């Protein structure tokens, strides 16, 4: 037992904090999960508490039964939410009600739509690295909203603005060093030059230039870089680990998932990306929202798609990031709001099934013998941008639409609406892929992880819509593996972030006329 060494990966998603104990070979030994609170004080406002988030990270322990000295490193990833602290590192409220514990503007908070539009209208040169359009999900418009709407209660009191992944690494180490992943992807930072003073001045946030941008980050490091002296004594006590345990510079949650899957060894599986560089792959991290991540050897500018970002996920490669603001949340919204939802719950409970497993089975039974269930939705169509379009239209004002509804509200009707929603999301992926290809990406295979990757219908329809094989790793919690890689890199167990992994069993879905997996063994 004493010869076994591990790394801990901590993932803070939209609704929960999770942790995993990961072996040196990249295998997950144990996982745990703690729920997180979300408050919605006004429409389009979504807030959380950084105090609660850290507490949940500390209670999500996975090291019971393991000696502290067996854990060599820890890494954190989180949603790209905005954390606000005062000069004493205490929470500052981001709500008009002034609830001080609610100091996190969540990634999906769309309060800053007007500020984002104004920033876009500046046509500043930094916008070329975010697809030409400033998204309200990025940090500059949120900062501007706080300055313009909560100047006395928030802006003037704030001394530190963190991306949530950087807040976690600061809590763990006391280091104010930010991750290049967060600063480059969400704050307009551009290595090696760094911050562009003229941008912040042009949008009315010139006060952030003070003390060498100390409020938003004066020093940045590549993901996985060791921070400070490792865990502080206080953080080590909170987490049940040894002081000094290595902590790696963090990643945004989707990028941790991308890191966990995009370098998978697929030799012998007859995939089109075999013997090709990882630039032939796209990682899809599918949960509440979906991120579509592709890397390239040179800077590719894709209209409506974020990036190119140098070394934001894989060292030395440029990252483009497409996305859909609502995927899992949209499916939940459509299904749970239907009149037949109580009937679905009852039937699924009687069979001991997840509601979506039951819906998938129900669609199978609705299909005629020999026909594909996905053809059932030919007369029902969904436009899936209920929370705006992130990519490639980059229009947050867009809304959703359903065409083909009748007055019926049976379980069959719910199943068809569910199917049409999944098909719409898959066509959104195709739209993003086409935009990437038109500007030089050569993508042949999709690598998928996240909660929705466990839904066989969702995966199959993605394969059908894109015409590409969709690969699922055997370690389904790839985001947690990606977070653990940061700790491994920081511990000096590896010289740099690795972009390959040991041989493993994969599940591959290709365009077919049914929902069956092809399970391939190396």
Q: Tell which wins on pLDDT, 311 or 196.
A: 196
Quote the tokens at residue 76: 């954190």
State residue 368's pLDDT score.
Answer: 73
pLDDT interval class at 500 (50, 70, 90) = very low
Is pLDDT at 82 greater than 80 in this prediction?
yes
pLDDT for 10-26, tens place per residue?
999 999 999 999 999 88
pLDDT interval class at 93 (50, 70, 90) = very high
pLDDT interval class at 371 (50, 70, 90) = low
> Mean pLDDT score of the chain, rounded to an integer?
92
Name the nearest CA neighbour of 473 among 481, 461, 465: 481
Residue 193: is the preceding peptide bond cis (ω within 30°)?
Answer: no
Is pLDDT at 84 greater than 90 in this prediction?
yes
pLDDT for 337-348, tens place per residue?
999 999 999 999
Quote the tokens at residue 25: 């070979």
pLDDT for 213-270, tens place per residue?
999 999 999 999 999 999 999 999 999 999 999 999 999 999 999 998 998 888 888 9
State residue 493's pLDDT score.
Answer: 67
Look at the alpha carbons of 444, 449, 452, 453 in this order and tell me if their dihedral is positive or negative.
Answer: positive
Of 97-101, 270-274, 402-406, 476-480, give the lowest mean pLDDT range: 97-101
Name the nearest CA neighbour of 327 among 390, 396, 406, 394: 390
Tokens 């009149």 belong to 339
% residues pLDDT > 90 (the chain): 84
pLDDT for 287-297, tens place per residue?
999 999 999 99
State residue 504's pLDDT score.
Answer: 42
State residue 268's pLDDT score.
Answer: 84
State residue 497's pLDDT score.
Answer: 59
State residue 100's pLDDT score.
Answer: 80
Half-sphere exposure of 366 (CA within 13 A, CB side): 19
State residue 475's pLDDT score.
Answer: 73
- Residue 447 burial by CB count (10 A; 0-12/13-18/19+): exposed, middle or buried? buried
Tokens 């009748």 belong to 406
% residues pLDDT > 70 (the chain): 93
């Amino acid at each position: 037992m004493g010869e076994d060494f591990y790394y801990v990966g901590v993932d803070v998603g939209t609704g929960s904090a999770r942790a995993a104990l990961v072996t040196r070979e990249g295998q997950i030994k144990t996982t745990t999960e703690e729920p997180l609170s979300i408050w919605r004080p006004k429409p389009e406002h979504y807030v959380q508490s950084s105090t609660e988030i850290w507490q949940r990270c500390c209670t999500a322990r996975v090291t019971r039964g393991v000696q502290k000295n067996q854990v060599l490193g820890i890494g954190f990833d989180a949603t790209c939410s905005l954390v606000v602290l005062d000069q004493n590192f205490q929470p500052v409220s981001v709500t008009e009600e002034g609830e001080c514990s609610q100091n996190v503007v969540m990634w999906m908070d769309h309060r800053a739509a007007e500020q984002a539009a104004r920033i876009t209208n500046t046509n500043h040169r930094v916008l070329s690295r975010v697809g030409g359009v400033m998204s309200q999900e990025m940090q500059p418009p949120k900062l501007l909203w706080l300055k313009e709407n909560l100047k006395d209660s928030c802006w003037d009191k704030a001394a530190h603005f963190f991306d949530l992944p950087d807040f976690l690494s600061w809590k763990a180490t006391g280091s104010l060093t930010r991750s290049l992943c967060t600063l480059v992807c969400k704050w307009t930072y551009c290595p090696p030059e760094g911050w562009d003073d003229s941008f912040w001045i042009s949008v009315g946030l010139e006060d952030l230039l003070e003390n060498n941008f100390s409020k938003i980050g004066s020093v940045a490091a590549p993901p996985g870089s060791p921070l400070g002296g490792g865990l502080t004594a206080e953080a080590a006590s909170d987490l049940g680990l040894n002081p000094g345990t290595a902590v790696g510079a963090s990643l945004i949650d989707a990028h941790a998932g991308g890191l966990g899957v995009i370098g998978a060894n697929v030799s012998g599986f007859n995939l089109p990306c075999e013997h090709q560089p990882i630039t032939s792959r796209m990682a899809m991290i599918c949960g509440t929202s979906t991120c579509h991540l592709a890397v390239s050897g040179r800077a590719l500018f894709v209209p409506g798609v974020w990036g190119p970002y140098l070394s934001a996920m894989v060292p030395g490669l440029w990252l483009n990031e497409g996305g859909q603001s609502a995927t899992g949340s949209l499916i939940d919204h459509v299904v749970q709001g239907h009149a037949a939802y109580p009937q679905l719950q009852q039937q699924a409970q009687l069979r001991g099934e997840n509601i979506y497993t039951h819906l998938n089975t129900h669609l199978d039974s609705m299909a005629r013998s020999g026909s594909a269930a996905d053809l059932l939705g030919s007369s029902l169509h969904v436009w899936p941008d209920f929370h705006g379009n992130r990519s490639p239209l980059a229009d947050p004002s867009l809304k959703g639409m359903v065409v083909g509804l009748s007055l019926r509200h049976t379980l069959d009707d719910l199943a068809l609406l569910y199917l049409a929603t999944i098909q719409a999301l898959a066509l959104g992926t195709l739209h993003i892929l086409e935009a990437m290809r038109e500007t030089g990406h050569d993508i042949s295979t999709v690598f998928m992880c996240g909660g929705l990757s466990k839904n066989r219908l969702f995966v199959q329809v993605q394969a059908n819509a894109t015409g590409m094989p969709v690969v699922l790793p055997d370690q389904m919690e790839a985001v947690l593996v990606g977070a653990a890689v940061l700790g491994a890199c920081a511990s000096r167990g590896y010289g740099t972030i690795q972009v390959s992994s040991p041989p493993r069993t994969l599940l591959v879905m290709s365009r077919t006329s049914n929902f069956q997996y092809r399970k391939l063994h190396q």
